[in-house]
Amino acid sequence: MTTSPNRIRIGAAALTVAGVLFLLYPVTRPYEDESTLAGATTAMSSTAWVAAHLFGIIGFVLLALSLLTLHTVLSRTRAEPLAYAALLTGWLGTGLAVPGQGAEDFGLHATALEAANNPQINLLNVIETSRQSPGPILTSGTGMLLLALSIVLAAVAIWRSGVLARASGIPLAVGIAAFLPQLFAPPPVRIAHGVLIAVGSLWLARELWRTSASSSGRHLQRTAEATADRRAPA
């Protein structure tokens, strides 16, 4: 069975877009003092708030999809079990982490819009409940830890495989592992973190795309051989 080079390129393209979106997330996010009612209302009621967090959500989904491509590329190497573990933990982690991002994006945005016109709505209490309740902490925190584990496993698989540049998974692994801590950092650090993830994503995407070229050559050769066999006289 051969792997279609186009499928590898789709995965590489998805990872490229994910990297760009992870950079746009901190760059476009409004930074106000969210410990004050005025700052929280201004930030969370803005269109930029919705767009920035949506960039992050889509980035997580595309990152998870690219793990399937990585597993495909490494499927014939000794690193396949690690790549498969990365795929499973990455999908599970994304499934747990993304709902919290959705609540942060759409839920707090809608509440901030209402609070701007209705002083009886205590936006700060809603924010604290949304972020600090056991449910959101457990699901989002576990999801991000699993996703970090996934990308670390992927980086180890890449290192061992001999198919991609050995260090090409490390920057992305560091960036995803640092995702939770950087949420508490000042804006310049958060933007620098976005740059790190973007660079890591683009490097790994380039390596995946490179393998699609060699895969394409093998695919064309096998197609030609199969066609010749069918045309050969019995």
In this predicted model, what pLDDT tens digit does every residue of 112-152 receive, in sequence order?
Answer: 999 988 988 999 999 999 888 999 899 999 999 999 999 99
Mean pLDDT of 44-70: 97
Q: What is the mean pLDDT of residues 210-232?
A: 52
Measured distance CA(77)–CA(53) in Å, rounded: 37
Q: How far is CA 92 from the centre of its chain?
A: 13
Write phi, then psi, for 77 (nearest 5 degrees): -115, 170
Report which residue type is found at 143: G
56: pLDDT confidence band, cut at 50, 70 and 90? very high
Over range 200-214, report the average pLDDT: 92
pLDDT on residue 2: 53
For residue 184, report the phi and psi dihedrals to the nearest 5 degrees: -100, 10
Quick one: pLDDT band at residue 234, thresholds 50, 70, 90?
very low
pLDDT bracket for residue 4 (50, 70, 90): confident
How far, in Å, CA of 185 to CA of 187, rounded?
7
Q: What is the pLDDT of residue 198?
A: 98
Statement: residue 223 has pLDDT above 90: no
Residue 3 pLDDT: 64
Flag whether pLDDT at 229 surpasses 50: no
Domain ranges in the chain? 5-231
DSSP letter (8 states) at residue 107: I
pLDDT score recorded for residue 182: 95
Does the pLDDT value for residue 60 go beyond 60? Answer: yes
Which residue is associated with the tokens 């990365």? Answer: 86
Q: Could you tell me the pLDDT band of residue 50, with boundaries at 50, 70 and 90?
A: very high
pTM of the model: 0.87
Dihedrals φ, ψ of 221, to 5°?
-65, -45
